[in-house]
Structure 1
Amino acid sequence: MALKSTIFKAQLQIADMDRSLYADHSLTLARHPSETDERMMMRLLAFSLAVPADTDRGSLDFAAGLSDTDEPDLWQKDLTGSLVQWIEVGQPDDRRLAKACGRAEQVRIWSYSSSTPIWWSGIEGKVSRLANLEVWRIDAAESQALAALAERGMQLQITVQEGTVWVGNGKDSVSLEPRRLKEIQTRR
């Protein structure tokens, strides 16, 4: 008998001063049986840091991710069905990244494992030509501290200022310092 996903509810209050974005979001997350709290919370963090200020070009939604190899963890599709954002959590290979960059306007990767430096050194040269790829790293200790905030019913306050992210639940908080490994190249 197959195991079922565990459902989590999250109320987010986002104050992203770096993007002048202030919003509340009510989310339902399905945690795949093979997914850890750490990975699920990284998906939630990725949502918080990429959610658009409006839905003029579509909303940012959780995709099948682990359940479907053709989908990312999060995506934003415009009204025509074109992919605006493709967001993955973890360490995808260079072929997957190239395919994603061919399908979406922007591709963002959020890596959080202690093995990130090894993974990145192995693919950095292969993905350097992908102009619409952005890669971020969260320190493993920070992502593990974020995982400790996971609850079936969460109320989280997320504040972003000058590149630092604070996530709190009213009694505990975590400070994260995302480090950009690769940024999107602007066309001249």
Structure 2
Amino acid sequence: MALSATLHNFAVQLADVDRGVYEDLELRVARHPSETLEYMITRILAYCLQYEEGIVFSEGGISATDEPAVQVRDMTGRTTAWIEVGAPDAERIHRGSKLAGRAVVYTHRDPAKVLAQYAGKKIHNAARIPLVSFDRAFIDEAAGLVDRRNSVTLSVTEGVLYLDLNGTSLRTDVTEQPLG
């Protein structure tokens, strides 16, 4: 018998001072049985840090092969931002960058190792695609705080992310570097 996804609810107060985005979000996140909590936290952070009208989680979640973890669609349904999580293969990022015109990769892994896997690979506009990473200890600690129902306050100012998750406060630098 196949295992089913676990639903997690996140009530998020988002204050992204760097981008001028202030929203209250109610996120229902399905965590696939093969998805780690670290990946899920990174996926939620990617959603919040890229938040704009039309943003959605992929319908297939971690098992989706033809769409990113998170994407932004315009009013016609066309994908305008391709947002990957983890360490997706170069071909996937190449396809997403060509399709959407704007791509970004968020990782919970060692950014040097993620970048190394793209060396010499063909990725459309690689120099314009940021790899966004967080301190690994921050991701590990946040993953340990996740419940089925979660209260989140997320603030970003001057490249520093402040996260209050279920009453515990954490902070990390948001680091960006180009894929190519």
* TM-score, normalised relative to structure 1: 0.87
The equivalent residue for 1:9 is 9
The answer to which of 31-40 and 166-175 deviates more is 166-175
Displacement of 1:169 after TM fit? 2.8
Q: Superposition pairs for residues 16-165 of structure 1, below 5 Å?
A: 16-52=16-52, 55=53, 59-63=54-58, 64-114=60-110, 116-126=111-121, 127=123, 129-130=125-126, 132-165=128-161
Structure 1: give runs of 5+ residues left out of the alignment: none
Aligned residue pair count: 178
Contact map agreement 1:41 1:146 (CA 8 A) in 2: yes
Displacement of 1:149 after TM fit? 2.5
Counterpart amino acid of 2:81? Q
Contact map agreement 1:113 1:139 (CA 8 A) in 2: no
The equivalent residue for 1:180 is 176
Contact map agreement 1:105 1:132 (CA 8 A) in 2: no
Displacement of 1:132 after TM fit? 4.6
Q: 1:129 to 1:87 in 2, by over 3 A?
A: closer
Specify the SS of the correspondent of 2:75: coil
Matches of 1:76 and 1:169 in 2, distance apart? 25
Displacement of 1:60 after TM fit? 0.6
Q: Pairwise CA RMSD of aligned residues? A: 1.8
| Identical counterparts, % of pairs | 31
Contact map agreement 2:150 2:166 (CA 8 A) in 1: no
Matches of 1:125 and 1:163 in 2, distance apart? 29
Specify the SS of the correspondent of 2:109: coil
